[in-house]
Amino acid sequence: MRMREELLINSKVREGDFKRGGEVSSKLKDTLKQLDLDSKIIRKAAIIAYELEMNIMIHSEGGNLKVKIAPGRVLIIAEDTGPGIDSIDKALTPGFSTAGNEVRELGFGAGMGLCNVDKFSDQMEIESGPTGTVVRAGINF
Amino acid sequence: MLVDEIKEVLAAEDLYQPEFSYQDREITTACGADLMSDVLAFSQEKTLLLTGLINPQVVRTCEMTDIELIIFVRGKQPPEATIKLAREKEIMLLKCNYSLFHSCGLLYQHGIKPENIIGTG
């Protein structure tokens, strides 16, 4: 059993860098596979990380995606600088989105991102203000 | 259905076939979508994705959700970046000329079932 919290990943995510969208989440998936976690936990973590990574690219001026592992828990943290979320309640309403056409053409921006993070995590916290947003999503195993 | 049977029913063309063999892989469910967030939300493991979207994010979405076969519909040719990523991730790519609706209908007719969507029973 792992006895303490460990930082597995701390990667920069750039605004609008869609060509590289998913690279950090892909790295996370490979890292968790090496740790031999259950495939369902890995899948949940990968989906959460991917949605948060795309959110940073779409909605912020850039940020970082961090992944920590602790006894019985994976924690994914997305920190960005940017305008923040106007209404967290609205952002958590399926179908609500402020994303533009370029993002929609990629198959995102349908107002499902944070709902998916909430759906696949066991705990989710959002702090948002006029200078940025922090989303923390935990998965228990 | 076996992958070869799916290829025959959809008159599909290979775009990328991973080195390990898919010949014996039995596919029982499929997901048809152009919204990748919906695929992330609802799809289950070991299914196939039919889509009209051709950018690399389609492959990323399948990587995250453990989908191992993508079929591009409406005769769409994905860009090289999409094929390259599929090669890296060993996700099989096919394309067919039918519409998304028609492709789904043909597979349904041949026994492929809808997924039991998480959250709706």
Q: What is the CATH number of the domain that holds B92?
A: 3.40.1390.20
Residue B21 has a pLDDT of 67
Nearest CA-CA distance, residue A110 and chain B, Å: 7
Question: Tell me, what's the ipTM?
Answer: 0.89
pLDDT digits (tens, 9 = 90+) for A93-141: 988 888 888 888 888 888 889 999 999 999 999 999 999 999 999 999 9
Identity of the residue in A29, A47, A111 whose CB atom sits nearest the CB atom of B40? A47
Taking CA atoms, A96 is separated from A13, A48, A112, B40, in Å, by 23, 18, 8, 17
pLDDT-based confidence at residue B121 (cuts at 50, 70, 90) = very low
Residue A62 lies in a domain: yes
| Domain of B22, in residue numbers | 3-114
Residue B30 lies in a domain: yes
Give yes or no for A95 touching B (CB within 8 A).
no
Inter-chain CB proximity A22 and B65 less than 8 Å: no
Residue A94 lies in a domain: yes
Inter-chain CB proximity B36 and A106 less than 8 Å: yes
Euclidean distance between CA atoms B111 and B28, whole angstroms: 8
Give yes or no for A8 touching B (CB within 8 A).
no
Q: What does the mean pLDDT of chain B come to?
A: 90
| Domain of A136, in residue numbers | 6-140
Residue A1 lies in a domain: no
Euclidean distance between CA atoms B39 and B25, whole angstroms: 21
Size of interface A-B (CB pairs under 8 A): 73
Residue B115 has a pLDDT of 79
Identify the three-state secondary structure at position A102: helix
Inter-chain CB proximity B40 and A50 less than 8 Å: yes
Mean pLDDT over A34-54 rounds to 95
Nearest CA-CA distance, residue B104 and chain A, Å: 19
Cβ-Cβ contacts under 8 Å, A46 against chain B: 63-65
Residue B77 lies in a domain: yes
Residue A34 lies in a domain: yes
Euclidean distance between CA atoms B36 and B56, whole angstroms: 11
- Global pTM value: 0.91
Q: How many domains does chain A have?
A: 1
Cα nearest neighbour of A97 on chain B: B37
Mean pLDDT over A9-36 rounds to 94
A6-15, A70-79, B16-25: least confident range:
B16-25
Strands (E), B2-91: 13-16, 29-32, 48-51, 69-72
Q: Can you give the C-alpha Rg of chain B in angstroms?
A: 13
Residue B78 lies in a domain: yes
Q: Which of B31, B34, B36, B117 should one mutate to test binding to chain A, selecting the residue with the greatest count of A CBs within 10 A?
A: B36
> Cβ atoms within 10 A of the Cβ of B30, count?
23
**Sign, Cα dihedral of A115, A48, B48, B54:** positive
Q: How many domains does chain B have?
A: 1
Residue B95 lies in a domain: yes
